[in-house]
Structure 1
């Protein structure tokens, strides 16, 4: 397939916070410019890694508006517009579209929402009326709803439904989604090279916040089927990508990004900075990577 709008690396960018816990837009601009210089050509704003669920509706909308303005057409912009009420998703999506977003990522209904396929299809059909490409978000371990191959086929009958981002962390289940022939994006950091080899169409990658240059290089090598090069690059990335997936994911990404030079402050409450006793192991995993990512 050649007409997928979000191929390759889409960076689930961290949302920077200042010492008072407010969004730091100055730091956001600095980081976006650095990521652009590193070769990133698509950003997901208000991502899970960017603490979407801990941003107010107004904050999320302003983050997308300012982020898109900073990018200014130099890369693609995707916005997460997930919310409990479908009406809120529709409104957030309209604001994101008006701000310049080119696509949206949306969780299925969560917290005692519908679990039957028909209810989920109805939800996404309502969201898709916005006119922006919709990326469904499969993270069943957090939401309680799994997007199966059968459900993915039904969702793709909706005009405007574009792809599913699979963050299940299960390569076998992701491969089953890929075999449908629908667009599938990997969202599980430890699976990146395996998902690319299996044929995923793109990546939404939080760990790339602390490894943009190496991540871009790996994706480019995979696009050229240079699998030996992919394997060599993954040897550099894998220790950290595996470690952050073991727990405290968001805190670990923020800490690692700060160590490498893409600081975004500390996560917003109720999350806290990564525990001090966990920092040495993370720093050790970043030794070789930090040299390669030198800004």
Structure 2
């Protein structure tokens, strides 16, 4: 039987930039150390929140290698390796594997929008060439395509496919998937506002944006669920709802970078076509952070 890559909370870590727009490795290293010191169970590097879409291939590989080396086996590292070009995804997966990452995260192919048969062929092709576990990533709001539960069932049978980061918000899909895929196909929430309900249906944790700045809360929330203490976890989920909603007033990772800069982390700006947060939603974000003690 497969073991889950991690249980609990994994941070979808941001990529900090300096004033010239280059990766700021000094800040990045400090963020990695703080994430671990504050109890996170895993780190996902070069995902959506890490602005992988605007990192060059050379930067992407270097950021993954830096993260793996800095973590040094203290927690699990999941390296983003997804692409809408299957051969490119294999290439990034190989580099994640060579760097020492514990698993690779592969988003569904975007823009060219594969059929369900294409999704199966894509993921099987990558997994056949991987020596590290694969976590699939379902986020149809960004990619325009979603898995079906039957596609999950087929892919769950591959020994190198560990499970999926589910960010579709489709609880019917989640329930049907849990019903037909067996116990060693693992699901993680990809939405911070749905951690508790997803874990009540058997998800093993969350790959979290909010964990960049509120790691203790997200860790506690997921661990309470793992212990079956859903009433307490629900109270925590509700306490942080306004803040979590504010983190998605504009497209991720615009608000989380704004929040971290407000809190003094000096993570820099974003790369175009992403840009700074608009004044009105920024003020809403600021108020939500003050309400839960993230700002004085």
The Cα of 1:97 is off from its aligned counterpart by 0.9
**Residues 182-261 of structure 1 correspond to what in structure 2 (within 5 A)?**
182-261=185-264
| TM-score, length of structure 2 as denominator length | 0.92
Per mean C-alpha deviation after superposition, the further-off stretch among 232-241 and 39-48 is 232-241
| Structure 2 residue runs without a partner (length 5+) | none
Aligned to 2:120: 121
Partner of 1:278: 281
Change (3 A) 1:84 1:2: closer
Distance in structure 2 (CA, Å) of the matches to 1:266 and 1:204: 23
Report SS of the residue matched to 1:39.
Answer: coil
Equivalent-residue separation in structure 2 for 1:135 and 1:53 (angstroms): 18
Shift of 1:149: 0.5
Distance 1:195 1:262, change over 3 A: farther
Q: SS state of the match for residue 147, structure 1?
A: coil
Which residue of structure 1 aligns with residue 38 of structure 2? 38
Deviation of residue 68 (structure 1)? 0.7
Q: Distance in 1 between matches of 2:35 and 2:175?
A: 30
Structure 1 contact 84–109 (Cα < 8 Å) conserved: yes
- Contact 2:10–2:42 (CA<8 Å) still a contact in 1? yes
Give, in angstroms, the shift of residue 146 of structure 1: 0.9
What does residue 178 of structure 2 align with? 178
Greater shift after overlay, 224-233 or 10-19?
Answer: 224-233
Separation in structure 1 between the aligned mates of residue 113 and residue 170 of structure 2, nearest angstrom: 23
The 5 A counterparts of 1:39-54 are 39-54=39-54
The residue aligned with 2:109 is 109
Deviation, 1:3, is 2.3
Structure 1 gap ranges (5+): none
The runs of at least 4 aligned residues of structure 1 exceeding 4 Å deviation read none
SS in 2 for 1:286: helix
Scaled by the length of structure 1, the TM-score of the pair is: 0.92
In structure 2, the partner of 1:163 is: 163
Give 1:108 shift.
2.3
Shift of 1:85: 2.0
Greater mean alpha carbon deviation, residues 257-266 or residues 144-153: 257-266
- Aligned equivalent of 2:142: 142
Contact 1:10 / 1:203 at 8 angstroms: preserved in 2? yes
Partner of 1:76 in structure 2? 76
2:29/2:67 contact within 8 Å kept: yes
Deviations 1:30-50 (A, max 9, x none): 111111111012000001011
Matches of 2:265 and 2:170, distance apart in 1: 29
Report the count of equivalent residues: 292
Superposed displacement of residue 113, structure 1: 4.3
